[in-house]
Structure 1
């Protein structure tokens, strides 16, 4: 099968790391163009040195180039605001698709091991957030064994790995991740928090997942979580359980109050995760960025295989 030509919008850390991942690891994608808006961008200069088409005139600049007609998948690694503009261009071309790495969430949320089969035909899919990619598979793993009433995730990332785009989109991060915990993870109610850890030297990404579900076989939940971890590891090798899965009973006579749901009892499951980056372009502590680019490339590869 011939590879599908792709373009990346956003030559920053995420876009550059994604470019290198596609070059090194993709089975079905052919890196073709890098798009930015700053002529002095280091990422554009690097892509040009590597022999790829570049433009500093945004996606409209690429649209004017003859190579545009052959590009079928576009990765958007810009910002939630910019994605609305980029999608308005791509939407006009029925043969093209966009994979959104911003929190814009115009298209449906996509977590590769959870809902690829039901979402991949849509022309604009959203990769949620780094915290969502890391934790929603775990919420879904619990939910397939026992109905999850409430899912809460806390994503802790190195402050140095949070660039201006991440910092500008903190509100979108929490809102988008919360929605995806419910819509993809299956929780009746979700909540997401992000912590920027200023520790020196920088620490790797750590995520904590709490679920309150109906009572169920604990070993079945533990096995489901382990199976999901192994699925994510297929495209993010540095994804791992930091500790054994933990359980606590919330008895019926001592329920907890969940805003929007009222009093609930059942089984509390706690899953502690660690994500170490592959170190392709970004440092290993930037697991939050690595899981986004890895998930996006995995999604692109799978979509390309269906085209």
Structure 2
């Protein structure tokens, strides 16, 4: 069966890890072109060694290549600012776009939560690494609760796994993730925090999810969370709970005060996650790369599966 050719724009950490994943693990995808703007980048050099066509002229250079005709899907792993132009050019040429920047031109997409709802979209946004890790947990609580007034996530990643693209998009990271916690996760209000941890040796990605819910018992939330962990592990094997979900009842005698929301009484859930990377490009501590690229590849594979059934 012929595979679907793809282009990856961005030859940094995320783009290079994605390239290796596609070549090793994808069910339906084939590397067409790796695109960058630095001729000396490690990502472009690695692509050339692996027999992949390369372009150091950015999106404009890609469009001028003869390989462009055969490309069906474009992954953008550059920056939120650059993605707007890249998306316009790719969509105008009839390509599907998977956005790994925080630009959020297309709908926020988290595979185990809402991917099937966005298979008709020309551009989908993969939120952020913290969003891909934590929004499934927020949704797991919301789907068994009567309401979810608030959810807060803290994503802690190793400084070594944060490339220049990630560092240039910190503000967009927090804004995009917070919004996606609400739109995809289902919280009335969402808040996101990212921590770049300089510890040596580097620490594996850790994520903490706090939710304030009403109308669900701890047992139902714990079961829903564990089921969602299994779903995420189907495409990110290193995704796991660090310990059982912790619960605290907030009573009328000591309600929480949430800025912009008011007072809260109900059930507080604390979910502690660890994401170990598959070490396709960077070492295993870079779970933030692994969950983004794995989610993007899962999205593209699902797109192709749908085309094959049509």
- TM-score w.r.t. length of structure 1: 0.98
> In the alignment, which residue of structure 1 is the partner of 2:18?
18
With 83-92 and 268-277 compared, the bigger mean Cα shift is at 83-92
Give the total of aligned pairs.
Answer: 306
Conserved? CA contact 2:3–2:28, under 8 Å? yes
Which aligned pairs between 1:24-35 and structure 2 lie closer than 5 A? 24-35=24-35
> In the alignment, which residue of structure 1 is the partner of 2:264?
264
Q: In structure 1, the residue corresponding to 2:92 is in which secondary structure? A: coil
Which aligned pairs between 1:161-176 and structure 2 lie closer than 5 A? 161-176=161-176
- TM-score w.r.t. length of structure 2: 0.97
Say whether residues 1:177 and 2:201 are aligned partners. no
With 41-50 and 69-78 compared, the bigger mean Cα shift is at 41-50
Question: Could you tell me how far apart the structure 1 residues matched to 2:231 and 2:252 are?
Answer: 34
Q: In structure 2, the residue corresponding to 1:102 is in which secondary structure? A: coil
Q: In structure 2, the residue corresponding to 1:91 is in which secondary structure? A: helix
Shift of 1:66: 1.8
> In the alignment, which residue of structure 2 is the partner of 1:3?
3
Q: In structure 2, the residue corresponding to 1:236 is in which secondary structure? A: coil
Say whether residues 1:75 and 2:71 are aligned partners. no
Conserved? CA contact 2:7–2:75, under 8 Å? yes
Runs of 4 or more off by more than 6 Å in structure 1?
none
RMSD across aligned positions (CA) = 1.0
Deviations 1:189-229 (A, max 9, x none): 00000111111101000000000000312111101000000
Conserved? CA contact 2:12–2:163, under 8 Å? no
Structure 1 portions without partners, runs of 5+: none
Question: Could you tell me how far apart the structure 2 residues matched to 1:141 and 1:254 are?
Answer: 26
Q: In structure 2, the residue corresponding to 1:8 is in which secondary structure? A: strand
Say whether residues 1:107 and 2:106 are aligned partners. yes
With 70-79 and 44-53 compared, the bigger mean Cα shift is at 44-53
Deviations 1:42-96 (A, max 9, x none): 21121122111111111111111221111110000111111012112112123x1
Deviations 1:222-266 (A, max 9, x none): 010000000000111000000110110011332211122211211
Question: Could you tell me how far apart the structure 2 residues matched to 1:162 and 1:92 are?
Answer: 32
With 183-192 and 164-173 compared, the bigger mean Cα shift is at 164-173
Which aligned pairs between 1:47-86 and structure 2 lie closer than 5 A? 47-86=47-86
Question: Could you tell me how far apart the structure 2 residues matched to 1:174 and 1:120 are?
Answer: 26
Q: In structure 1, the residue corresponding to 2:285 is in which secondary structure? A: coil
Question: Could you tell me how far apart the structure 1 residues matched to 2:56 and 2:274 are?
Answer: 36
Say whether residues 1:138 and 2:137 are aligned partners. yes
Structure 2 portions without partners, runs of 5+: none
